[in-house]
Amino acid sequence: MAIDSVGVVGAGQMGNGIAHVFALAGFEVLLNDVSETALDRAVTLIGKNLDRQVKGEKITEAEKQAALGRIRTTQALTDLGQCDLVIEAATEKEVVKQKIFEELLPHLKPETILTSNTSSISITRLASRTDRPEKFMGFHFMNPVPVMQLVELIRGIATDDATYQALLGVVEKLGKTSATAEDFPAFIVNRILMPMINEAVYTLYEGVGSVKSIDQSMKLGANWPMGPLELADFIGLDTCLAIMGVLHDGLADTKYRPCPLLVKYVEAGWLGRKSGRGFYDYSGETPVPTR
């Protein structure tokens, strides 16, 4: 399967990163979002991130300009119909993803591969709502996409080998490394990472340690580059809660119960960096712990 053009649904944190790496690797990219502001912001951010790579001598100015030239934007989801590969990178809500696929399906080429960047939702279930379960896969990038090396490839029960092999080739062309995961809740990375973050929130909730002491302990005691609460803020507390919900519902084990404090923060709208406040307050020059 020749893949030259890629459609990306969603111009948020993940979508703009995915568009960035595909354009830099030589693919023609069509980036879609319902918001024109989000699209403009994404292109600006991609430009800044490419500038950072030029400054770090990872790419040349010519490569940066060529990459930017390969990115087009559209607010019309149906425009993605002629792409060889479509990557859905919308919010981590199954009903939203299903609506996107329903609108997109009538406009897709028969050979188009359809994928989701979901970090936890069943690929088999998402695929079953489409007209091409054999050409549907989980294509899970890590955040921030231009920096992180790993891509999780998740086959649904109906995914055929040609689709899997095609995406293996795409990951290789991106210069990244793939890990194949079975279609179980949260796959590999988040199956391990999210309960660790959730346990860090419980540690805070139970008063075992403060935000500062918990993060410092894991950075200096376990050699983590970022503390678990700092990482939760970076990911987004709403995303962390959604993944814990998928784990809890999908595996029916109380060890995956979301911490009540995590629920409370999300209910308050304290979602981390993107909202300006989470386990840290980001309103000043330096993040300040909120507990």
| Active-site residue (options: 32, 116, 178, 190) | 190
Would the annotation count 11 as a binding residue?
yes
Would the annotation count 119 as a binding residue?
yes
Amino acid at 159: T
Q: Is 120 among the residues known to form the active site?
A: no
Vertex 236: Cα angle to 231 and 240 (nearest 5): 85
Q: Is 190 among the residues known to form the active site?
A: yes
| Active-site residue (options: 16, 32, 49, 119) | 119
| Active-site residue (options: 32, 49, 120, 140) | 140
Would the annotation count 33 as a binding residue?
yes
Q: Is 107 among the residues known to form the active site?
A: no
Would the annotation count 92 as a binding residue?
yes
| Active-site residue (options: 5, 20, 152, 230) | 152
Would the annotation count 103 as a binding residue?
no
Would the annotation count 51 as a binding residue?
no
Would the annotation count 196 as a binding residue?
no
Q: Is the dihedral of CA 86, 89, 92, 96 positive or negative?
A: negative
Would the annotation count 12 as a binding residue?
yes
Would the annotation count 210 as a binding residue?
no
Q: Determine the Cα–Cα distance for residues 121 and 218; give it in Å rounded to an integer.
A: 28
If you compute the radius of gyration of the chain from its CA atoms, what whole number of angstroms results? 19
Strand 85-88, strand 5-9: pairing: parallel
Would the annotation count 10 as a binding residue?
yes
Specify binding-site residues: 10-15, 33, 92, 97, 119, 143, 274
Residues labelled as active-site residues: 119, 140, 152, 190
Binding site feature residues for NAD(+): 10-15, 33, 92, 97, 119, 143, 274
